[in-house]
Amino acid sequence: MQKRTLIMVEIALMTALAFMLSFVKFPGPWVQGGSISLIMVPIFIMAFRRGWRVGVLTGALVGIVNLMYNASIIHPIQMLLDYPVPYAVLGLAALFAFQNSEGELSVGWALIGLLFAGSLRFLSHVISGIVWFGSFTPEGMNVYLYSIGYNISYLLPEILITLVVLYILSRAQPDFFQMKKTTPVVS
């Protein structure tokens, strides 16, 4: 029971940290949403530290909090594709959280997990962009290419910055990223 409480506290703290980090933004030209921030770092930390279930839960909570404070809602499905879903899928990076021979997180595999999960987030935003924000596509331009280009323009830099931050953290505090055995928080 004490371990479960500790995990719930970690989830709450990392959700709050992600929300605060979402306000530390790098400027850009995105008028229909999107920004470069460090919002993904705490989600990946929880995924690599506690596993995919806790990572997905943390991501979903980050998406819901982001929805409550920064929402642009056109349709209920668009709301899901732009808020809880793209952040929840980031927790799936833990599927690549393998330990090396010293019991530490294998940084190479973790980076692959980060790229995999970041790609899933990208896909969610692209689908939303095609279906609900296609009207913003400049005349004569393919809506698919516009959504891909628009979303990659902020997500690729955000993924790369997150990758660098997590790499630095993993080198400075490798014990922090050792996979902890968890009791599932969600049934």
Q: 183 lies in a domain? A: no
Question: Comparing 27 with 22, which gets the higher pLDDT?
Answer: 22
Q: 182 lies in a domain? A: no
Q: 184 lies in a domain? A: no
Q: How many domains does the chain have?
A: 1
Tokens of 82: 């732009």
| 3-state DSSP percent of the chain in helix, strand and coil, to 5 | 70, 0, 25
Per the structure, the complete domain to which residue 139 belongs is given by: 2-177
**What's the pLDDT score for residue 27?**
72
Q: 72 lies in a domain? A: yes
Q: 51 lies in a domain? A: yes
pLDDT, mean of residues 94-118: 86
**What's the pLDDT score for residue 187?**
45
How confident is the prediction for the chain on average, in pLDDT?
89
pLDDT, mean of residues 123-129: 95
- Indicate the Cα dihedral angle 128, 132, 136, 142, nearest 10°: 70
Q: 186 lies in a domain? A: no
Q: The pTM is what? A: 0.90
CA distances, 100 to each of 43, 106, 153 (Å): 22, 5, 34
- The CATH number that applies at residue 118 is 1.10.1760.20
CB-based contacts of 75: which residues, under 8 Å, 6+ apart?
132
pLDDT tops 70 at residue 124: yes
Q: 104 lies in a domain? A: yes
Confidence of residue 134 (pLDDT cuts 50, 70, 90): confident
Helix axes 52-70, 40-50, angle to 10 degrees: 160
**What's the pLDDT score for residue 31?**
60
Q: 11 lies in a domain? A: yes
Closest by alpha carbon to 14, among 184, 174, 176?
176
